[in-house]
């Protein structure tokens, strides 16, 4: 089975490629680094020739603002058109838990627009909604902007997950029949964003203190308490934050 992983050089995409190859599948990593651009369409037809399944794990370089919306809307359209030309039988896409609840965030609106295009495409599909990866806690810190050793963050609940668990789930979905629905995946612990980021910073021996601010924007959106909480039916993965941190590159790093 030939499976093309768009964004197959990224954090979750490269792990999907590794899992698929370890299981004996022909997995092709496609991204700008390998000559494939989902925004311009360059290289797509060549990469998708003979593909049975496409996993879309690409991501916008712009984490917020209208460019992030435009990336997802355009990438989905180009990719689905190329899949239709190539006769791809299963489109697998990773999105974010709560993408349909954050209409004020261009990033989330872009993810939701891409999901609408997938559902309307006629191509059999499975969408996986994941919660934030533990690795993404650093991006939350960077996006929040530290000022005077203080970081203002929303106390909204999140339930982060190990990207390795998400990659394994995506690989499993890719080699199984399309579900034509959205599945959800999360980690084991529901915790306030402000608390888990403070634990992360303390684990790195950072002097930065998190200040709770209910109005602090999260990638352009002011969050409700449960905006990013997965549904009851979400698959819960076992790796918790402390276990992930101990094994991560951050365990040896200093702030």
Ligand X SMILES: NC(=O)c1ccc[n+]([C@@H]2O[C@H](COP(=O)([O-])OP(=O)(O)OC[C@H]3O[C@@H](n4cnc5c(N)ncnc54)[C@H](OP(=O)(O)O)[C@@H]3O)[C@@H](O)[C@H]2O)c1
Residues that bind ligand X (CB under 6 A): 6-7, 9-13, 31-33, 36-39, 57-59, 61, 94, 96, 130, 132-133, 136
Q: Nearest approach, Cβ of 163 to ligand X (angstroms)? A: 7
Nearer Cβ to ligand X (35/209): 35
To ligand X, the closest distance from the beta carbon of 87 in angstroms equals 21
String of b and e for 26-48 (b: at least 16 CB within 10 Å)?
ebbbbbbeeebebeebebbeebb
Q: How far is the CB of 35 from ligand X (least distance, A)?
A: 10
Burial of 253 (0-12, 13-18, 19+ CB in 10 A): exposed
User: Which residue is closest to ligand X by CB?
Assistant: 10
Question: What is the nearest approach in angstroms of ligand X to the Cβ of residue 227?
Answer: 14
Alpha carbon dihedral 15, 31, 65, 181, in 10-degree steps, equals -60
CB of 241 to ligand X, least distance (A): 13
Q: How far is CA 242 from CA 6, 142, 164, 212, 246, in A?
A: 31, 21, 15, 22, 6
Contact 41, 83 (CB under 8 A): no
Quick one: 167 or 208, whose CB is closer to ligand X? 167
State which residue, 67 or 150, has the beta carbon closest to ligand X: 67
Nearer CB in complex with ligand X: 136/250: 136
Q: SS3 for 198-211, per residue?
A: HHHHHHCCCCCEEE
Of 36 and 210, CB closest to ligand X: 36
Q: How far apart are CA 240 and CA 61, in angstroms?
A: 28
Closest separation between CB of residue 40 and ligand X, Å?
7
Decide whether 37 or 209 has the Cβ nearer to ligand X.
37
Contacts of 14 (CB under 8 A, 6+ apart): 8, 29
């Amino acid at each position: 089975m030939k499976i093309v992983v768009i964004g197959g050089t990224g954090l979750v995409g490269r792990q999907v490629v590794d899992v698929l190859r370890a299981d004996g599948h022909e997995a092709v990593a496609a991204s700008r680094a390998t000559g494939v651009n989902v925004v311009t369409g360059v290289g797509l037809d060549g990469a998708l020739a003979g593909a049975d399944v496409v996993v879309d794990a690409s991501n916008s370089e712009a984490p917020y603002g209208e460019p992030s919306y435009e990336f997802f809307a355009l990438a989905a359209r180009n990719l689905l058109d190329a899949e239709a030309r190539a006769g791809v039988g299963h489109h697998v896409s990773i999105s974010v838990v709560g993408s349909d609840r954050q209409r004020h965030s261009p990033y989330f609106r872009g993810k939701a627009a891409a999901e609408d295009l997938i559902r309307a495409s006629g191509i059999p599909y499975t969408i996986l909604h994941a919660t934030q990866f533990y690795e993404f806690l650093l991006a939350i810190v960077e996006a929040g902007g530290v000022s005077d050793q203080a970081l203002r963050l929303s106390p909204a609940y999140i339930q982060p997950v190990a990207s390795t668990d998400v990659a394994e789930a995506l690989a499993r979905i890719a080699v199984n029949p399309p579900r034509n629905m959205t599945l959800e995946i999360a980690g084991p612990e529901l915790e306030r964003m402000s608390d888990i980021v403070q634990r992360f910073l303390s684990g790195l021996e950072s002097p930065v203190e998190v200040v709770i601010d209910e109005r602090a924007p999260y990638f352009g959106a002011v969050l409700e308490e449960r905006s990013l909480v997965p549904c009851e039916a979400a698959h819960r993965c076992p790796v918790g934050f402390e276990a992930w941190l101990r094994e991560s590159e951050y365990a040896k790093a200093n702030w």
